[in-house]
């Protein structure tokens, strides 16, 4: 790991610690974690993925372009699946969330899906 890769890794550790502390506080106060906490988890995952992918994306060659293309392509279907699941859960009144809560769940899911798909395809290609 070199340069920015180390910075991304340190950022991932910091975001993970922040998320862990917020979850700990939620547990200690006997309250459910706020939905906005999950964006911090998504930022931690993104930072760790960037620390792994930085050497490959730095050069911006054909391999990096293929990783991005394939990752975004498969992420589209996963994100579509998330939305389909949410629609079914809302239709049958299994979930009772407002718009902000729903977006606060979908955004981290999207971030995590995109970056993990990049890592998976970087290992496959």
CA–CA separation, 8 and 53 (whole Å): 10
Tell me if 15 sits within 8 A of 43, measured CB to CB.
yes
What would the pLDDT profile of 3-46 be if each residue is shown by its tens digit? 889 999 999 999 999 999 999 999 999 998 998 899 999 999 99
Check: pTM over 0.75? Answer yes or no. Answer: yes
Which two tokens mark 109? 């899911």
pLDDT: is 3 or 66 the higher one? 66
Residues with Cβ within 8 Å of 46's Cβ and at least 6 positions away in sequence, in order, are 12, 111, 112, 115
């Amino acid at each position: 790991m070199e340069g920015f890769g180390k910075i991304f890794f340190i950022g991932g550790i910091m975001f993970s610690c922040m998320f862990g502390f917020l979850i700990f506080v939620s547990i200690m106060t006997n309250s459910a974690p706020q939905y906005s906490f999950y964006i911090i988890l998504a930022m931690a995952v993104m930072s760790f993925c960037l620390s792994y992918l930085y050497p490959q994306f730095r050069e911006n060659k054909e391999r990096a372009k293929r990783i991005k293309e394939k990752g975004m392509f498969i992420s589209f279907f996963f994100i579509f699946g998330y939305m389909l699941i949410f629609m079914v859960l809302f239709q049958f009144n299994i979930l009772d969330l407002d718009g902000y809560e729903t977006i606060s769940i979908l955004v981290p899911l999207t971030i995590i899906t995109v970056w993990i798909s990049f890592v998976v395809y970087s290992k496959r290609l």
